[in-house]
Amino acid sequence: MYNIYMSKTSLNIIVIGAGASGLMAAGIAAGQGAAVRLIEKTPVYGRKLSMTGNGRCNITNTTPISEFSRHYHSSSRFLRHALHSFTNLDCINFFEGLGRGTTPERFSFHEEDNGRVLPVNSNGHEISVALAKWAVSCGVKIIPNISVTKLLVDNNMIKGVEAVDSDKNVLQMQGDSVIIATGGKSYPKTGSTGDGYELAKSVGHSIIPLRPALVPIETQGDLTKRLQGVSLPQVMVTLWINNLKSMTKIGDLIFTHYGVSGPLILNLSRFIVDALRTQSDVTISIDLFPNLDHPQIQREFSSYITIHKKQLFNNLLINYLPKKMIQVCCEELNISGDKMLNQLSAKELKRLRLWLKSLTLKVSGYRTFDEAMITAGGVDTDEVDPKTMQSKIVKGLYFAGEALDIDAETGGFNLQAAFSTGWLAGKSCTLRSLPLKIPQRDSSL
């Protein structure tokens, strides 16, 4: 065992994890004059950040910051101070101020559906590289391929960390403050394997049980397999728990070989996972036409059939379903696609109407952390000061990002939480009030 990277300045900060929150925390702390080492266990930084938003990086949302709390499932009160300290507008300004690399070009962002904020003509990889470059320009020393395995604590004060390098050498690093920014347990191939929970637990923190969140859902039967790849925009799903209506949500859904996914299902999954964990009976019903009620659909059928009596059932379905769904629909309703429309019975038309308005699937399970976008549960936020992100148990220990018990809907709310908590932890751990080195947009560009 040996000591490395001992800084000679008076304030040594160690940040564990070079993801979204860790890069932000490290840059802000270094910008305040601290000597900051950012320890990353993989060879690359910001791997998950690069993948976000299907590689396009949905950094935040345009929802007014005062309404952000509605989009977090846990710890929304806890987050309030962090979100107001580094808001969604601060976030956009911050990234607009970052250089894109070799050219003087800057990032610009625009709003897409549901308030999602994404870069124009850029992607998560470029954002990730720019964030790391900014951190390094603030003075952060990024140290890859080292995994922190232990927190060094004396008398409830943080003293540093113990880590192993890729050759399995054990290293000790001393620090006045340590920020745990190790992320959650989801998509472990990105390096987020839940280490922060073990580190926090080892010094007395409680961990709220970990569950996959924003995760695809498995359903019984082979219907979804037969519909695999079909996506349905803006459908309404009703969630039934123990035969009681729990909630409805509108959004985009996609059928998979094991069940259903897409933003709508991911957002509902938080409630489905928790219901399944209590052995509840869970079903979902899909309304393919939330803007049409039953009498309207019935009237539409009647007028179409009156005009096109000699057409086939398939022709009627083309008006309502994607091509791949038509054959499956006929099989499910046990009606031949070649049946003449004027030969359809009222009962058959009713069966079609019910299928379109409430296609019901029994939920059998959910995918693992490997496919979950985030982790629900984590370090209990009751044990962390919301104004500083400092542990209430160990002085000098801070938390940022998904390691905390924070999880939100899709739409940029998870990254905003990572950036806001990272910003606040980085600022408060230095306990200094030097001006922050936040990049400013150059108006001449």
Ligand X SMILES: Cc1cc2nc3c(=O)[nH]c(=O)nc-3n(C[C@H](O)[C@H](O)[C@H](O)COP(=O)(O)OP(=O)(O)OC[C@H]3O[C@@H](n4cnc5c(N)ncnc54)[C@H](O)[C@@H]3O)c2cc1C
CB of 114 to ligand X, least distance (A): 12
What is the contact mask toward ligand X in residues 164 to 203, using x (rule: CB under 6 A)?
A: -----------------xxx--xx--xxx--x--------
CB of 180 to ligand X, least distance (A): 9
CB of 219 to ligand X, least distance (A): 22
Under 8 Å between Cβ of 208 and 371: no
What is the distance between the alpha carbons of residues 57 and 65, in angstroms, rounded to a whole number?
Answer: 19
Residue list 39-98, contact with ligand X (CB under 6 A): 39-42, 47-49, 51-53, 58
Residue 17, Ramachandran bin (φ over 0: left; ψ between -120 and 50: alpha; else beta): left
What token pair was written down for 179? 């920020």
Under 8 Å between Cβ of 255 and 229: yes
Residue list 117-156, contact with ligand X (CB under 6 A): 147-148
Binding status of residue 415 toward ligand X by CB under 6 A: yes
Reduce the secondary structure of 73-87 to three states and give it as a string.
EECHHHHHHHHHHCC
CB of 403 to ligand X, least distance (A): 6
Choosing from 20, 35, 92, 158, the residue that interacts with ligand X (CB under 6 A) is 20
Closest CB to ligand X: residue number = 19
Chain center to CA of 413: 7
- Residue closer to ligand X by CB (options 201, 309) is 201
What letters, b where the CB count within 10 A reaches 16 and e where it falls short, cover 200-234?
beebebebbebbbbbbbbbbeeebbebbeebebee
- Residue closer to ligand X by CB (options 12, 282) is 12
- Residue closer to ligand X by CB (options 384, 415) is 415
Residue whose token pair is 């400013």:
440
Residue list 244-303, contact with ligand X (CB under 6 A): none
CB of 418 to ligand X, least distance (A): 4
Number of residues interacting with ligand X: please give it, by CB under 6 A: 38
What is the distance between the alpha carbons of residues 110 and 60, in angstroms, rounded to a whole number?
Answer: 11
Binding status of residue 405 toward ligand X by CB under 6 A: no
Contacts of 257 (CB under 8 A, 6+ apart): 224, 225, 228
CB of 123 to ligand X, least distance (A): 11
What token pair was written down for 257? 């070989």
Q: Which residues bind ligand X (CB under 6 A)?
A: 16-22, 39-42, 47-49, 51-53, 58, 147-148, 181-183, 186-187, 190-192, 195, 373-374, 401-402, 412-415, 418
